[in-house]
Chains A and B, each alone.
Chain A
Amino acid sequence: MAKILIVEDEQHQRELYALELQDEGYEIDQAANGKEAVELVKTNKYDLVIMDIRMPEMDGIEALGKILSKDKKIPIIIYTAYSNYKSNFMTWTADAYITKSSNLDELKNKIQEILATRSGI
Chain B
Amino acid sequence: MKRFLYRTLFFFGPDLLFALFVAFILTSLDGNRVLAGAIAAGVVSMVAVRAVLFRIGSRFYYAQRIDAIRGLVEEYKKGRYIVPKIEISGRDELLELYGDMRTLGKHLSSVINSQKTELEKFQNLYNSIVFSLSTYYLILNGEDKIVFANTGLCEKFNFEQNEIVGKRIEDIFYFVNRRLKEGLRQVRKYENSVLLEKTHLLSMKKVSIIADIKISNIVLQEKRHEIVVIDDVTNRLQKDYQISLMSQITESIQKDDEIDRILHTILTGVTSGAGLGFNRAMLFLLDEKSQTLHGKMAVGPDSFEEAIEIWSSIASRNPEESISADDEKASGKALLKNVMNASFGMDQDSVFTRAMKTMMHIHVLDLWNEQDISEEIRALLNVKEFVIVPLVAVNRSIGVVVADNKFNKAPIGKGDIELLSIFASQAALSIENYVQLDSVRNEMQKLGQRQDAIVESEKLAAIGRISAHIAHEIRNPLVTMGGYARRIFQLARDREKGKDVSGIKDAAMIILNESERLEKILSNVMDFTRPSRYIREFNNINEVIEDTVNLLKNLFLEKKINVETNLETDVPLIKCDFNQMKQVMLNLLQNSIDVTGPGGRIVISSESTAENIVVRVMDSGSGIDQEDTSVVFEPFFTTKVTGVGLGLAIVKKIIKDHGGDISVRNITEGGSEFVIILPVPV
- Chain A residues with CB under 8 Å of chain B are 10, 12-13, 16, 19-20, 54-56, 59, 81-82, 100-104
Interface status of B13 (Cβ within 8 A of chain A) = no
In the complex, how many angstroms separate the beta carbon of A101 from the nearest chain B beta carbon?
6
**B487 near A20: Cβ-Cβ < 8 Å:** yes
Q: Using an 8 Å CB-CB cutoff, how does the interface string of B484-502 with A read, 1 for contact, 0 for none?
A: 1111000000000000000
Contact of A19 among B472, B503, B557 (CB under 8 A): B503
**Given A13-B479, A81-B472, residue A59 in contact with residue B557 (CB < 8 A):** yes
The answer, yes or no, to whether B560 is at the interface (CB within 8 Å) is yes
Instruction: Please give 20 more A-B residue pairs, beta carbons under 8 A apart, in addition to A101-B479, A102-B485.
Output: A12-B480, A12-B484, A12-B514, A13-B476, A13-B483, A16-B484, A19-B487, A54-B554, A54-B557, A55-B557, A56-B557, A59-B557, A59-B560, A81-B476, A100-B475, A102-B479, A102-B481, A102-B483, A103-B482, A103-B486
Main secondary structure of the interface of A (DSSP, over half): loop
B195 part of interface (Cβ distance < 8 Å) = no
In the complex, A54 Cα to B472 Cα: how many Å? 10
A11 to chain B, nearest CB (A): 9
Bound CA span A104–B484, Å: 11
What are the residues of chain B within 8 A of A54 when measuring CB–CB?
472, 554, 557-558
Closest A residue to B513 by beta carbon equals: A12
Q: Are B487 and A16 in contact (CB under 8 A)?
A: yes
CA A81 to CA B44, docked complex, whole Å: 183
Q: Report 23 cross-chain contacts, Cβ distance below 8 Å, ordered by A residue.
A: A10-B480, A12-B484, A13-B479, A13-B483, A16-B480, A16-B483, A16-B484, A19-B503, A20-B483, A20-B487, A54-B472, A81-B475, A82-B472, A100-B475, A101-B479, A101-B482, A102-B478, A102-B480, A102-B482, A102-B483, A102-B485, A102-B486, A103-B482
Cα distance A76–B479 when bound, in Å?
21
Looking at the assembled complex, report how far the CB atom of A75 sits from the nearest CB atom of chain B, in whole angstroms: 22
CA gap between A16 and B484 in the complex, in Å: 7
Question: For the complex, what is the distance from the CA of A76 to the CA of B255, rounded to whole Å?
Answer: 75
How would residues 88 to 117 of chain B score, 1 for a CB under 8 Å from any chain A CB and 0 otherwise? 000000000000000000000000000000
Q: Is the CB of A100 within 8 A of B487?
A: no
Bound Cα distance from A82 to B479, whole angstroms: 12
CA distance A100 to B478 in the complex (A): 10
The residue of chain A having its C-beta at the shortest distance from the C-beta of B558 within the complex is A54
Residues of B within 8 A of A101 (CB): 479, 482
| Contact of B510 with A by CB under 8 A | yes
Which B residues are CB-close (under 8 A) to A100?
475-476, 479
A-B contact count (CB 8 A): 50
Which B residue sits closest to A52, measured CB to CB?
B476
Q: A16-B484, A102-B485, A103-B486 are in contact. Are A81 and B558 (CB under 8 A)?
A: no
Distance, CA A102 to CA B484, complexed state (A): 8
- Give Cα A59 to B559, complex, Å: 11
A100 to B482, CA, bound (A): 11
Docked complex: B548-591 residues within 8 A CB-CB of A: 554, 557-558, 560
B478, B557, B560 — most chain A CB neighbours (10 Å): B557
**B 453-489 binary contact with A (CB < 8 Å = 1; else 0):** 0000000000000000000100110111111111100
Q: How far is the CA of A101 from the CA of B478 in the complex (A)?
A: 9
B520 CB to nearest A CB, Å: 15
Residues of B within 8 A of A81 (CB): 472, 475-476, 479
Least Cβ distance of A81 to chain B in Å?
4
* Chain A hits for B554, CB < 8 A: 54
Q: In the complex, how many angstroms separate the beta carbon of B39 from the nearest chain A beta carbon?
A: 186
The answer to whether B557 touches A13, judged by C-beta atoms less than 8 angstroms apart, is: no
**Could you tell me if A13 and B480 are in contact, using CB atoms closer than 8 angstroms?**
yes
Q: Which residue of A lies closest to B478 (CB)?
A: A102
Proximity bits, B504-542, A CB within 8 Å = 1, else 0 = 000000100110000000000000000000000000000
CA–CA, A10 and B484, complex, Å: 13
| B472 neighbours in A (Cβ, 8 Å) | 54, 81-82
Residue on A with the closest CB to B485?
Answer: A102
List residues of chain B with CB within 8 A of the CB of A82: 472
Measured CB to CB, the closest approach of chain A to B290, in angstroms, equals 68
Question: How far apart sit A16 and B478, CA to CA, in the bound complex (Å)?
Answer: 13
CA distance A19 to B484 in the complex (A): 10
Roughly how many angstroms separate A1 CA and B479 CA in the complex, as a whole number? 27
Complex CA gap A102/B475 in Å reads: 10
Cβ-defined contact, A104 with B483, below 8 A: yes
